[in-house]
Amino acid sequence: MHSDSTEVKKSIRTYMTIGVALLVFTGITVAANQFHFGVPVAVTVALIIAMMKGSMVASVFMHLSHEKKWIYGALILTVLGFLVLMTVPIFTTMDTIGKHVPAIGGAAEHQGH
């Protein structure tokens, strides 16, 4: 734990550095948007950048890089559950027994403003 004051002072430098890095990556995120990738590439790029930013927040600001086993354990379980929630419903929805028939009077009439 960061109970030593010199350790805390060192950490403060790290916090500031990571803070700047996050702002830089935010700039990269917005800049990447200027390239008109196809949807799968765009999603991949966006998620990779977001995960890099997210892991910086988690490991440094939330001290996850030196946290205890129980926390890691609970989080790994959560990440697995999260991945299941992201992937399985959409796979199930896409795997159908028949051909999708678009509804009558549906989206086409309500889009556009």
Partner 1 sequence: MDKTGIHPGGEGVQAVAHGHDPHHDELGFWRKYVFSVDHKVIGIQYAITGLLFLLFGFTLMMIMRWQLAYPGRPIPLIGMWLGQTRAPMGIMLPEFYNQLGAMHGTIMVFMGVVPLAVGGFGNFVMPLQIGAPDMAFPKLNMLSYWVYFVGGVTMLASFFPKGGAAQSGWTSYPPLAIISDGQTMWLIGMIFLITSSLLGSINFIVTIVQLRARGLSYMGLPFFVWAQFVTSFLLLLAFPPLEAAGVLQLMDRLAGTSFFMPSGLVVSGRPLTISGNGNPLLWQHLFWFLAHPEVYVLILPAMGIVAEIIANNTRKPLWGYKALVYSVTFLGFMSFIVWAHHMFMTGMGTTMSAFFQTTTMIISIPSVVILTALLLSLWGASIRFTTPMLFALAFLPMFGIGGLTGLPLGLAPSDIHLHDTYYVIGHFHYVVAPGTIFALFAGVYYWFPKATGRKMNDVLGAIHFWGSFICINIVFMPMFIQGLSGMNRRMYDGGAQYAYNAGLPLKLNVVIGMAAWTLGLFQLPFIVNFFTSIFWGKTVDKNPWEATTLEWSAPSPPGHGNFLTEPIVYRAPYEYSVPGAAKDFSPQFEPEKA
Partner 2 sequence: MNIPYTVEERPDTGLTNGKLGIWLFLASEVMLFGALFSTYIILRTGAPEWPHGELNVLLGAINTVILITSSVTMVMAWATLKLKDWAKHRLYLIATFALAGIFLVNKYFEYKDHFDKGETPAHSTFTAIYFTLTGLHGIHILGGMVVMLYFLGPGTKLWKKNPDQFTNRIEFTGLYWHFVDLVWIFLFPVLYLL
**Which pairs count as long-range contacts for 2-10, CB under 8 Å and 24+ apart, including other chains?**
2/63
CA 110, distance to chain mean position in Å, is: 31
Instruction: Report what 71 binds from partner 1, partner 2, none; CB cut-off 5-8 Å by kind.
Output: partner 2
Alpha-carbon distance 96 to 101, whole Å?
Answer: 12
* Rounded CA separation 60/12 (Å): 10
Residue type, 48: I
The pattern of x and - marking residues 8 through 47 that bind partner 2 according to CB under 8 A reads: xx-xx--xx--x--xx--x--xx-xx-----x--xx--xx
> Is residue 101 within the footprint of partner 2 (CB under 8 A)?
no
Q: Specify whether the CB–CB gap between 11 and 18 falls below 8 A.
A: no
Q: How far is the CB of 68 from partner 2 (least distance, A)?
A: 4
The residue ranges that bind partner 2 (CB under 8 A) are 1-3, 5, 8-9, 11-12, 15-16, 19, 22-23, 26, 29-30, 32-33, 39, 42-43, 46-47, 49-50, 53-54, 57-58, 61-62, 67-71, 74-75, 77-79, 81-82, 85-86, 89-90, 93-94, 102, 106-108, 110-111, 113
